Amino acid sequence: MTTGNRTPLRPHTAPGEKRGNTTWVSCPSCKEWFHTTEDLIARGTIALHCPHCHHEFLPEKSPRLIVA
């Protein structure tokens, strides 16, 4: 299942693994990767903060999201 720019690494997630998932996002400014929580992504209205260049952007602005 692929929705938008999300790329699920594991199509079948075992029950109980919903919490603690790591979501990797690519910064639209410096293209570096950093991790956030899927919860933040799911809300969609909270700006992510890139630790590399300190750019702030909404999840939808990320060129790529990987939900691990």
Question: Which residues are at the interface with Zn ion (CB under 5 A)?
Answer: 27, 29-30, 50, 52-53, 55
Shortest distance (Å) from residue 57 CB to Zn ion: 8
Shortest distance (Å) from residue 4 CB to Zn ion: 20
3-state secondary structure 21-55: CEEEEECCCCCCEEEEEHHHHHHCCCCEECCCCCC
Distance CA 66, CA 68 (A): 6
Of 13 and 60, which CB lies nearer to Zn ion in the complex structure?
60
Of 41 and 50, which CB lies nearer to Zn ion in the complex structure?
50
